A = this chain, B = another copy of it.
Amino acid sequence: MKNINTAPISGMQELLPEAQAIFNELKSKIEGVYRGHGYLNIETPVIERDEVLLAKAGGDTEKQIYRVFKTAETANEADQALRFDHTVPLARYVVEHESDLVFPFKVSQVGRNFRGERAQKGRFREFYQCDVDVVGRGSLPLYYDADVIATLIDTLRQFKLGTLVRARVSNRKILNGLLTELGLDEKAGAIFSIIDHAEKASIEETKYAMKEEGLDDDLQVKMLDFMNLHGDRSVVVAKLREMGIENKVFRDGVDELDVVLRWLEGEGADDSVEVIADMQIVRGLDYYTGTVFEFVLPDYKKVGSVCGGGRYENLAGYFTDQLLPGVGGSIGLTRLFYVLNEQKLLHEAIGRPLEYAVVPISDAEIAYAVEIASELRSQGHTVTVVVLPTNKKLGDKLNYAGKLASKGIVIGESEVASQSYTVKELR
């Protein structure tokens, strides 16, 4: 025996069975809601050609991509790497299978992605992303922006977190139009980044960052007032319209936001979810072009963003000349599970993992024990049959059973003879 490190690689989630069961429960809720809302599930390979993945990656992402060595058998093939998100593989999939798909294509993906980030508490190198996307061919109605957000709201509601979920929605066109109006087009990238970081910064820091970009006091105040706009659709939309900005992009953005939020009215009906307009939401990623959104738990600031997404004008420009506009959102389940668990927000009181443990006293009773287990299973229960090494006593067996199941059934000679049994609560 060599001395081998048996810990999982740093940054890879590995759970004990009890925690894994809760994780699986959340995943299965996500899959169920996505399916219920009409999103068709697909799976793409974890390994892609470099040229596919690098078409979009850049900056930090490119530095974090796990490349794959070719094996002796695959030596002549193209260079390969592990996917770092679901968006690039989806673009490839839609282009590859375009003639077999029905558009608008409502699609879900639930699986592991990989980024070789620097090891850090709560950051994962292998992580589950759970994505919904709607991809149109040529054009895609605005309705689907609301469809995606409603699906995610419904998903979060199923988690039964016992705390308010807030969906914060904006539209990139509003800020883009405002920047044009203020003559700040050229500084758009920097300002997007300042707004993105403003939540974690003080007002002074944000003003200073804007000043650094050359915005005078008046512009700084205008921007801060704008960023602070948030609340009910009707109030925020009215304030935006009162700004008297004639820029068409700005006005289109306000109209789109108004319509999307109107469609979402009713989604917050039961007090567990609130949908607001919020001008602080910009989503750094440069491919968003319209609706953008982010979900948070206002009573648990540390949890950060629970999910997010938005509208993109063209999914697969790297792979095809066909215009494929889309809208999508994603739940980063591995990170979310980690933070919800840390905040003790996972109330799934699953208790012991199984319902029944059937305990034959000796080998002679195994056959009847198996029969009982099989019958209980056919009624939909989870059941294990407990057989321990021969030096173990009945007490050991009941102890083992009690760790795994909530109900126990002991089978001895008399139970076999009478073909009957008693169910007892364990412990």
A residues adjacent to B (C-beta < 8 A): 1-2, 4-10, 12-17, 20-21, 24, 35-38, 40-49, 51-52, 55, 63-74, 77-78, 80, 82, 92-93, 95-97, 100-102, 104, 106-107, 112, 114-119, 125-126, 136, 138-141, 143-144, 146-147, 150, 154, 262-263, 265-266, 317-321, 353-354, 357, 363, 366-367, 370-371, 373-374, 377, 380-385, 387-390, 400, 403-405
A371 to B266, CA, bound (A): 9
Whether B72 pairs with A64 at a CB distance below 8 angstroms is yes
A425 to B12, CA, bound (A): 48
Whether A69 pairs with B71 at a CB distance below 8 angstroms is no
B contact residues around A5 at 8 Å (CB): 49, 51-52, 78
Between A and B, 29 residue pairs with Cβ closer than 8 Å are: A1-B321, A4-B49, A4-B52, A6-B52, A9-B45, A9-B47, A9-B80, A12-B45, A13-B43, A17-B101, A20-B42, A37-B373, A37-B382, A38-B405, A45-B126, A46-B114, A47-B66, A63-B73, A66-B71, A69-B69, A72-B116, A74-B118, A74-B125, A102-B400, A141-B388, A141-B390, A262-B367, A263-B366, A266-B367
Whether B74 pairs with A141 at a CB distance below 8 angstroms is no
Residue of B nearest to A65 (CB): B71
Cβ-neighbour of A1 out of B49, B92, B320 (below 8 A)? B320
Count identical subunits in the complex: 2
Residue of B nearest to A128 (CB): B43
B contact residues around A319 at 8 Å (CB): 1, 4, 6
Whether B403 pairs with A38 at a CB distance below 8 angstroms is no
Whether B63 pairs with A102 at a CB distance below 8 angstroms is no
Whether A102 pairs with B403 at a CB distance below 8 angstroms is yes
Residue of B nearest to A39 (CB): B384
Q: Would you give the shortest CB distance from A405 to chain B, in whole angstroms?
A: 8
B contact residues around A119 at 8 Å (CB): 74
Cβ-neighbour of A116 out of B9, B49, B71, B106 (below 8 A)? B71
